[in-house]
Structure 1
Amino acid sequence: MISRVTQCVLLLPNIGEALRSYAGQSFLFRVLRDYQRFGITDVTLLTTAGTSDFLPCLHEKLPLQGTLTTYTLPTFTVEALQQVAALLPETFFLARGDRLCDGAVFPLLPLMTAHLETPRSIVDPNGTPALTLLSKQALRAVPDSESLTDLLHAYSETISVASQVLSPDALPFSAYPLHRPAVFLDRDGVLNYDHGYIGARERFEWITGTFSALRRIARSGHHIFIVTNQSGVARGYYREDDVKSLMSWAIASIRSEGATIDDWRYCPFHPTAPVEHYRQDSEWRKPAPGMIQDLLMKWDVHPADCFLIGDQETDLQAAAAAGMPAYQVTSEKTLLDWTMELLP
């Protein structure tokens, strides 16, 4: 079973095009930022001989949480890719650094946690492939001489999307958002029922309509961020590793339902914590806005384009301190209700 697809093999057939800058960011930066929204943290960049001099400088310029690996191949063929296949996971994305298709990963999200026997390619209304999800097993069934530049979509089941595949030339004239708006969400009491200090899956219960709400937000073009106080760590009820493990599972579940969480922050501190290491007043603990501000800075998001949905007064106060409106979940008005009203 595929537990989570985090690897992307990115072809760079035209490095000059991929590095072309628009509004202060290279095209390649925008490609990787879009893929990172869906949990792709590790990228293998493939170039051909004589074009790899620029690669060392990329490590500091690209928005990756994981690893960036580079290889120079003699040609962009299946046979050449097989040379590095041993270093890849069983299932990965194949894409190009000079193509961008807004939201193209969404149809593939439910497949990222299922057994994949046949490659799946996303194509735009013109039939241009945007990216392909494939396995090494499927790759072995493709002729060695086959070119990679069309992302093997001739050997894949295709899924059509409404968005156009953009080239660097087309980006300035497109509706692609240079700065996405964002929705910030509290976790307990908004996504799941707040049973008090939830540190394990056994106590995590999704609120009805959560997945539908998240799909609506994601398809509206908004980033989705989670900001959650987790004083259960400070009280000794569970560890930080438990928070991270639970969130990894929750995000994988959300992606399997066709939505995503772009990023998240948590605060384990409390001013009167029994565990001394976590006893402090933290700017990340709501009602302080630290978690929100950190995400705004990392993702280059403007607070005027954002709003928060939470269930506690501290959520609303944190949003106000960060300069954005907020809306309160109650027993009468759920996350789904709010998203239907705010994002019709």
Structure 2
Amino acid sequence: MVRQCAILVGGLGTRLGALTQALPKPLMPCGDRPFLAWLMREMQRFGFDDFVLLAGHMSDEIENAVEQIRARLPKPARITVSVEPFRAGTGGALHHARALLDERFVLCNGDSIFACNLARFLAHATRDASFPNWILLRAVDDLDRYGAVSLDEGSDRVTSFQARSDAGSAGLINSGIYLLDHSVFDHVSESCSLEQDVLPRLAGGGELGGLVLDGYFRDIGLPGDLAAAGEELPRQLVRPAVFLDRDGVINVDHGWVGTRDRFEWADGVFPALQRLTDRGYHVFIVTNQSGVARGHYSEDDLDSLMRWAIGTIRANGATIDDWRYCPTHPSAPLERYRSESPRRKPGTGMIDELVAAWEIDRTQSFLFGDQPSDITAGQAAGLQTSLVQEQTLAEIVFGRSAFA
């Protein structure tokens, strides 16, 4: 899956007037952190850990803010700043960063956020080889502030971009998120506009696919929008979570499952995880893995298995935002793993770590597990709990009004 996200952070922010005289627009405070920190936090939910910031105007401020932003992210991240040598436009900024970009990468605007099930977009675009480049679209009731995007009837092909339409007209708009590969550089020059030059060329050549998704959207282009973002983002993006045990919940418990050949998905798990992601829940795995302590497999084996499992979940249009495991056991055969640990369920350590990293509202969150120790840990952590035994995870999720 794609792990690199380039973010356009070089705009002048002229519509914000005096507000952007000291800071570039993506660094405008929204609640207790810069807007850019919220955006990167949201992208980390879907596996992005390599960020390239395409800077220009006030690039020194962007560079100075990197460590501040990194400290607000829930997971480790590589952050690189690419500075355009002159005012090059959004397409030109991409051109000058070419050497830093993977063969396939996501590009997004640094002054807007679209909180949706991004895994659906990435999975759909990855499966469909008809188009090398993709744009994520939103449906709106009023195109007054936006340019419209047209799709070919009955297909995903983007056919055209047009200027702002009459007030009151419904249609599709650019969300500011793209999945691109290096074929895009055939249409990019050292000074050009992504929106006015590159995207229309891609569409004209039949090289651009589009997918429409729903979700919370906010840009910060005008003073009123920025003020609204400061109020809304903490409410919208500090979400409740669903904590899942692994064996017996998302996969069949064959005992000490540490390799792919012994990993069998539970019935209905992908639609269930997709529903949770669609509904905006953080989705975490918290799993005791004493198979490591017993010598059945290594921590490297477990890490490899989980990378594959989470990648497979994302390829099926859902996500696991993060995960934790505890390899110790008080009677472990391997001495280095023989210990008591508050992280091991029924302890709450793994849950507490994720709550702190992702700022979770415990009172609205759930834990689903197949063992009494899971339920004890969830209740002690202040979560709502369900035992996955007589019902599968899918049956529980699709039967709960909270996830409807």
Match status 1:308 vs 2:367: yes
Name the residue aligned to 1:60. 68
What corresponds to 1:157 in structure 2?
A: 209
DSSP-derived class of the 2:291 partner: helix
> Is contact 1:128–1:165 with CA below 8 Å preserved after alignment?
no
Q: Is the 8 A contact 2:249 2:388 kept in 1?
A: yes
Matches within 5 A, 1:211-226: 211-226=270-285
- Alpha-carbon distance between aligned partners in 2 of 1:104 and 1:289, rounded to the nearest angstrom: 28
1:125 CA displacement:
1.9
Residues in 2 aligned to 1:150 and 1:171: alpha-carbon distance in whole angstroms: 27
- Amino acid in the other structure paired with 1:48: G
Number of the residue aligned with 1:120: 134
Q: Deviations over 1:51-83 (max 9, x none)?
A: 323423322333152200001112235454233
Give 2:187's aligned residue.
Answer: 142
> 2:5 matched to which residue of 1?
8
Q: 8 Å contact 1:132–1:151 — kept in the other structure?
A: no
Correspondence for 1:167 among 219, 223, 238: 219
Change (3 A) 1:315 1:151: farther
Residues of 2 paired with 1:312 and 1:23: CA distance? 39
**Alignment-derived partner of residue 241 in structure 1:** 300
Cα deviations across residues 264-283 of structure 1 (Å, max 9, x unaligned)?
Answer: 00011001111111111011
Change (3 A) 1:150 1:19: farther
| Local SS of the residue matching 2:89 | coil
Contact 1:46 1:72 in 2 (8 A): yes
Cα distance, 1:38 vs. partner? 0.2
> Offset at 1:23?
2.4
Alignment partner, residue 82 of structure 1: 95
Does residue 329 (structure 1) correspond to residue 329 (structure 2)? The answer is no
Q: Distance in 1 between matches of 2:330 and 2:398?
A: 37
Relative to total residues, which structure has the larger strand share, 1 or 2? Answer: 2
Measure how far apart 1:324 and its partner are. 1.1
Which one of 26, 35, 39 corresponds to residue 18 of structure 1?
26
Instruction: Name 1:95's counterpart in structure 2.
Output: 108
Residue type matched to 1:308 in 2? L
| Partner of residue 154, structure 2 | none
CA contact (8 A) 1:107 1:159 kept: no
Q: 3-state SS of the aligned residue for 2:297? A: coil
> Bigger shift: 98-107 or 171-180?
171-180
Residue by residue, what CA displacement relative to the aligned partner does 1:177-236 show, whole Å, maximum 9, x if unpaired?
141010000000000000000111000000110001001111111000000010010001
TM-superposed deviation, 1:148: 3.0
Q: Is the 8 A contact 1:109 1:259 kept in 2?
A: no
Q: Which amino acid aligns with 1:10?
A: I
Greater gyration radius: 2
Gaps of 5+ in 1: none
Partner Cα separation in structure 1 for residue 196 and residue 246 of structure 2: 40
How big is the alpha-carbon RMSD for the aligned residues of Structure 1 and Structure 2? 2.1
1:249-288 equivalent positions in 2, closer than 5 A: 249-288=308-347
- The residue identity in structure 1 corresponding to 2:325 is Y
Using the TM superposition, give the Cα deviation of residue 107 of structure 1 relative to its aligned residue in structure 2, in angstroms.
2.8
Q: How many residues align?
A: 339
Distance in 1 separating the partners of 2:197 and 2:113? 13
Residue of structure 2 equivalent to 1:72:
83
State the TM-score, normalizing by the size of structure 1.
0.92
Q: Specify the SS of the correspondent of 2:136.
A: strand
Compared with structure 1, are the counterparts of its residues 265 and 146 closer, same or farther at alpha carbon in structure 2 (3 Å cutoff)? same
For residues 198 and 83 of structure 2, what CA distance do their matches in structure 1 show? 20
User: Contact (CA 8 Å) 2:135, 2:209: kept in 1 or not?
Assistant: yes
* TM-score when normalising by structure 2: 0.79
The answer to whether the aligner puts 1:299 opposite 2:358 as a matched pair is yes
More moved, 48-57 vs 97-106: 48-57
Q: Which has the higher helix share?
A: 2
Deviates more, 1:123-132 or 1:95-104: 123-132
Q: How high is the sequence identity, in percent, across the aligned residues?
A: 38
Matching residue's letter, 1:118: P
**AA in 1 matched with 2:290:** S
Per mean C-alpha deviation after superposition, the further-off stretch among 140-149 and 197-206 is 140-149
Structure 2 equivalent of residue 133 of structure 1: 179
Q: Please say if residues 52 and 72 of structure 1, whose CA atoms lie closer than 8 Å, have aligned partners that are also in contact.
A: no
For each residue in 1:259-302, what CA deviation from the matched residue of structure 2 results, as whole angstroms up to 9, or x when unmatched? Answer: 00000000110011111111110111100000000000000112
Q: 1:16 to 1:140 in 2, by over 3 A?
A: closer
